[in-house]
Amino acid sequence: MRNVSLVALTVVCTVLVVGYASASAEAQALSTPDGALFLTIDLQVDPEKVDEFLAMMIEAAPDTRARDGCRLFDIYVDQDNPGHVVFYEIWDSKAQQEAYVSWRQESGFNARIGPYMVPGGGGLTYFNKVDG
């Protein structure tokens, strides 16, 4: 009986360890590729206009996601300060992201969002991936 218990315990522990390792490998597979451009755009939006601003951004998001080189485009809103909006983007290259920004500028889109901004945002930050 003792041997059966030990075998059962060994099987359970093995399943737990393998299951944990599989979950870690699965999470790792979701990591973005090395060499991609990671950036955040940190904005402070007029609290009285934030709903209108977000509606405009959500409407524009599919065009951004469809641009050549765009891997990810997400919009985040601070839980405690809804006027604090952060865009998280991943692009294949900085050149593709800059071409996208030029397209938005030339189309007049950036001028349309200007009136929603208030001082306090952190601006644009580019990141290098070091692990993941």
pLDDT at position 121 is: 87
pLDDT at position 1 is: 53
pLDDT at position 118 is: 94
Mean pLDDT by 10-residue block, N- to C-terminus, for the chain (132 residues)? 43 36 51 84 96 97 96 96 96 95 95 94 89 74
Burial of 92 (0-12, 13-18, 19+ CB in 10 A): middle
Architecture of the structural domain at 37-127: 2-Layer Sandwich (3.30)
| Each residue's pLDDT tens digit, 95-111 | 999 999 999 999 999 99
Burial of 36 (0-12, 13-18, 19+ CB in 10 A): middle
Rg of the chain's alpha carbons, rounded to an integer?
22
The pTM score is 0.74
Task: For residue 63, give every residue at least 6 positions away whose Cβ sits within 8 Å of its Cβ, in sequence order, or none.
Answer: none
